[in-house]
A = this chain, B = another copy of it.
């Protein structure tokens, strides 16, 4: 049990110690823990070691645990459980980050964090991982540190799980979870990897789109050909690939793969009405990124296109000569990476199969196609009645002075489905990211205010959770 004066002391401590919190975040940001690129495997290990040491200083017993891929960090709070009245929370985050290319678009080296000024005057922390997910994870760790240093203990029991392969689909982390499910038993999970509604309005995410990520390689001739000698007679795999990819959306931006929308439901009218009131316009949402025309289904609101409707995006394409100048080549192959954001009712395995059937049917008989699996995850809709939700909503509202919103997110956090499936846990999704954080892009940033008030928010949420009866 905590009391209001304890919480106030903790919040004061957070303010007083904030410069040190920032330095601890910077130390983590300097580690190049890019999980997608095998060249950075040692850096991933280094980030895990660093975090294990860091949470040990907060009083967690911590270990770096091997998986079949990059290791995971496991921390357990040492506070004695006060029995049935004290909830046990599983906190999840990830220390791995996205690749940094195109490097030339960064204004500063991505692993040399700084605090600088945003064009509109906001103070921002700039580095790869500043938000996703190192900055967000550190809001929680620093909140725990403040509680521990002021009161000598934590308001709830906490198991911390910080993995190193979220950005590449958690393929090895999920079996690790499965193999240790007794050890990770808890009342519910918490994840700090989502966003606010806007810079002043906190939010809890209650639904997440799913993901299917596939790779397609079209092979034509057995070698690169000279287009003067063979052009016109020999098939060009870029032509085949662009023809297929170019046909995935029709003139109304509906996805053309047969069966793609099977099971997709319209929003309940009351939710749609609420969303309309949020008034998410091209002016507010697209203008900051230099666009003006919603690119999704023409018969849907922009907020539906972004949150409740499935999508198809080509995330990468390459074929032929891509250097300087010109080369009159017909390449032997061309490939693309394609991902689909899914909503409730869509089965990732069925979507992957429908996509592959669609592609295969369009490949000329003397060409071949190869597919490469990447991650997949179903969409998630969390129960609106989940007990910690109201407690967290109240805590966030108090910290930010504005009512916290319950929102749907366009992004996938596949681990949320795995927590439900493996450990039987629902997940509370609280985060302090903003739409303009450039996550997965050059010049990723995290508002200094998000980091500071994020720590304070978690301190309040921990206090509020302590009041909950155990399930």
Contact = CB atoms under 8 A, between A and B. Distances in A.
Interface in A94-110: 98-99, 101-102, 105
Contact of A323 (B36, B209, B317): B36
Interface stretch (A75-83, A134-142, A302-310): A302-310
Interface stretch (A119-127, A333-341, A394-402): A333-341
A440 B239 contact: no
A291 interface: yes
A226 B440 contact: yes
A151 interface: no
Contacts of A336: 238
Interface in A329-365: 329-331, 334, 336-337, 339, 341, 364-365
A231 B311 contact: yes
A150 interface: no
A247 interface: yes
A341 B38 contact: no
Contact of A327 (B36, B236, B329, B341): B36
Interface in A127-173: 167-169
Pick the most buried of A167, A223, A289, A438: most chain B CB atoms within 10 A of its CB. A289
B99 A305 contact: no
A321 B295 contact: no
Contact of A409 (B221, B225, B228): B228
B315 A337 contact: no
A89 interface: no
A398 B246 CA distance: 54
B326 A232 contact: no
Given A232-B295, A235-B293, A326-B213, A227 B435 contact: no
Pick the most buried of A168, A242, A435: most chain B CB atoms within 10 A of its CB. A242
B334 A326 contact: no
Interface string A405-420: 0000111100000000
A186 interface: no
A193 to B, nearest CB: 10
A286 B222 CA distance: 10
Contacts of A319: 314, 316-318
Contacts of A327: 36, 98-99, 167, 315-316, 337, 440
A325 B215 CA distance: 9
B334 A441 contact: no
Contacts of A213: 326, 328
Pick the most buried of A291, A292, A296, A364: most chain B CB atoms within 10 A of its CB. A291
A320 interface: yes
B292 A232 contact: no
Contacts of A309: 232
A78 to B, nearest CB: 36
B246 A324 contact: no
B441 A228 contact: no
Given A220-B291, A326-B315, A249 B239 contact: yes
B291 A234 contact: yes
A306 B324 CA distance: 27
Contacts of A410: 228-233
Given A234-B291, A292-B365, A293-B364, A411 B442 contact: no
B236 A306 contact: no
A36 B435 CA distance: 41
A317 B37 CA distance: 23
A50 interface: no
5 contacts: A99-B321, A222-B289, A229-B410, A313-B330, A316-B320
Interface of A: 36-38, 98-99, 101-102, 105, 167-169, 195, 209, 211, 213, 215, 220-236, 238-239, 241-249, 285-286, 289-296, 302, 305-306, 309-311, 313-331, 334, 336-337, 339, 341, 364-367, 374-375, 409-412, 435, 438-443
Given A36-B327, A317-B317, 18 more contacts: A105-B223, A213-B326, A221-B291, A222-B289, A224-B438, A224-B440, A227-B440, A229-B306, A229-B409, A229-B411, A231-B313, A233-B305, A235-B295, A236-B295, A245-B246, A293-B364, A317-B319, A318-B318
